[in-house]
């Protein structure tokens, strides 16, 4: 299990922070083997840092432990190990609470909501996200970028749950509020909000919100509108690779739904080249490739056959 690891001397907080950054980079490069192999030692080091921390350093050590467990939970969700992910995120929430850091705690909740969305627990996601966002209650007049970012992410999660519960108007309202938060933060994010800070904070921006709006339109049954919004989404390098890739899957799905299987296949082939390890773990990709094969109703070409093999589609 991830929580077990070798006994180590207590590292410095800088060393723990650097180790989180290194594994976070590996995760976003879709190098899941490196991330998984490094997590047991990192968790042990983070625990050791907490146990050996001075009174002055204890809160920071607990924050780093929370971020360590959040990274573990995020990785495990990606690999469909949902029970272990839930355990890791509970440990992250406990550490954030002991540190008294509501921003990190709120960020962990965004990851917990992602896990629950994957489990189709839509009512629970919306309630948890809204209650947590209300507790953070950031000021727009004197904005704290970290608070605004976490608040915005929570509303994106709540909106994702609402649209899946066939409440499109409520979802749209939540997306509008998240968009306002992204605009208020602006395009310049302080270094302190980037990795290894609370996961996803630095990635929150108008582009992220625009991509989630594309997803919402797709789920609501408006693929033509989703494609239109995708074409006009603002360009930014801020979003994480995972969010960028997921958006491309939504674009592929929209193309397929409007009767453009060749365009959908083109998007998926690009993902196969740029993010094969990530694509392999996406159930939506498997469904899309199966649908493309059914649409074509002829012998598979070499490219489509290789794509089907990557995502595990039965032909």
Residue 10: per-residue pLDDT: 75
- Residue 2 is given by DSSP the state T
The answer, yes or no, to whether residue 1 has pLDDT greater than 50, is no
Taking the C-alpha atoms of residue 47 and residue 209, their distance in angstroms, rounded to an integer, is: 35
Task: Give the lowest-confidence range in 32-41, 149-158, 188-197, 271-280.
Answer: 188-197
Residue 300: per-residue pLDDT: 79
Residue with tokens 């159930």: 283
Report yes or no: 179 and 155 within 8 Å, Cβ to Cβ: no
Taking the C-alpha atoms of residue 208 and residue 203, their distance in angstroms, rounded to an integer, is: 7
Per residue in 132-174, pLDDT (tens digit) is: 999 998 888 887 888 899 999 999 999 999 999 999 999 999 9
Question: Other C-beta atoms within 10 Å of 294: how many?
Answer: 9
Which residue from 35, 39, 64, 36 is spatially nearest to 49, judged by alpha carbons? 64
Residue with tokens 């999660």: 157
Report yes or no: 271 and 245 within 8 Å, Cβ to Cβ: yes
Look over the chain and give the mean of its residue pLDDT values, rounded to a whole number: 91
The answer, yes or no, to whether residue 225 has pLDDT greater than 90, is yes
Cα atoms in the 13 Å half-sphere on the side-chain side of 185: 31
Taking the C-alpha atoms of residue 136 and residue 282, their distance in angstroms, rounded to an integer, is: 32
Residue 7: per-residue pLDDT: 58
Per residue in 72-104, pLDDT (tens digit) is: 999 999 999 999 999 999 999 999 999 999 999
Residue 23: per-residue pLDDT: 93
Crossing angle, helix 145-164 and helix 122-136, to 10 degrees?
A: 160
Residue 315: per-residue pLDDT: 56
Peptide bond before residue 154 is cis, with ω within 30 degrees of 0:
no
The answer, yes or no, to whether residue 263 has pLDDT greater than 60, is yes
Q: In degrees, to the nearest 5, what angle opens at C-alpha 187 toward C-alphas 186 and 188?
A: 95
Prediction pTM value: 0.91
């Amino acid at each position: 299990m991830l929580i077990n690891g070798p006994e180590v001397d207590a590292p410095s907080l800088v060393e723990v922070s650097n180790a989180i950054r290194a594994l976070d980079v590996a995760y976003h490069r879709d190098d899941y083997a490196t991330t998984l192999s490094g997590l047991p030692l990192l968790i042990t080091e983070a625990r050791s840092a907490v146990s050996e921390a001075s009174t002055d350093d204890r809160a920071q050590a607990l924050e780093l432990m929370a971020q360590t467990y959040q990274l573990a939970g995020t990785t495990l969700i990606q690999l469909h190990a949902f029970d272990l992910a839930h355990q890791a995120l509970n440990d992250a929430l406990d550490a954030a609470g002991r540190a008294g850091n509501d921003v990190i705690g709120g960020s962990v909740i965004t990851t917990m909501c992602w896990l629950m969305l994957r489990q189709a627990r839509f009512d629970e996601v919306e309630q948890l996200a809204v209650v947590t966002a209300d507790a953070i209650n950031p000021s727009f007049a004197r904005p704290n970028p970290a608070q605004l970012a976490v608040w915005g992410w929570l509303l994106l999660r709540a909106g994702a749950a609402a649209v899946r519960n066939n409440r499109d108007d409520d979802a749209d309202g939540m997306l509008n509020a998240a968009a306002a938060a992204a605009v208020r933060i602006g395009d310049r994010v302080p270094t302190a909000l980037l990795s290894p800070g609370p996961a996803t904070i630095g990635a929150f921006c108008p582009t992220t919100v625009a991509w989630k709006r594309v997803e919402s339109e797709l789920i609501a049954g408006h693929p033509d509108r989703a494609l239109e919004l995708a074409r006009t989404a603002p360009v930014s390098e801020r979003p994480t690779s995972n969010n960028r890739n997921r958006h491309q899957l939504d674009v592929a799905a929209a193309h397929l739904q409007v009767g453009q299987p060749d365009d959908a296949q083109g998007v998926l082939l690009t993902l196969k080249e740029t993010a094969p390890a990530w694509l392999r773990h996406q159930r939506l990709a498997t469904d899309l490739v199966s649908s493309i094969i059914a649409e074509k109703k002829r012998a598979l070409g070499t490219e489509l056959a290789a794509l089907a093999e990557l995502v595990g589609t039965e032909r």
